[in-house]
Structure 1
């Protein structure tokens, strides 16, 4: 972890020589289990062999890894 990094992911860190801030996502938040549209937690996705799932709230069919990428991007912006 970079010096001065905050584990909570809420505080931006100014990178030397960079125009952007570094934000660290919460390592305990399961980004692959939460629908990136509605935020509904899908418990069966804890099983890593489940690669695709459908949200019970919005009905959108998710790819586990793409959904995780959306969630990580949303929490770190």
Structure 2
């Protein structure tokens, strides 16, 4: 008969090379969006919360408790 040809060598897929430099603004829409996200995260890390978490938790508990009280006694 005839010999089957050898299958082509399996080369590993090359990943796209990323030209990632956070200091240089990107020109694409995706890059600009990532830059805005990075800037917002940095702002949130440096400024910190203006209202303590325990105050927010207390306000939430009062709202939920008031709603439950209205449902029970109405």
Report the TM-score when normalising by structure 2: 0.22
Higher strand share: 1
Structure in which a larger fraction of residues adopt helix:
2
TM score, norm. by length of structure 1: 0.22
Of structures 1 and 2, the one scoring higher in RCO (CA 8 A, sep 6+) is: 1
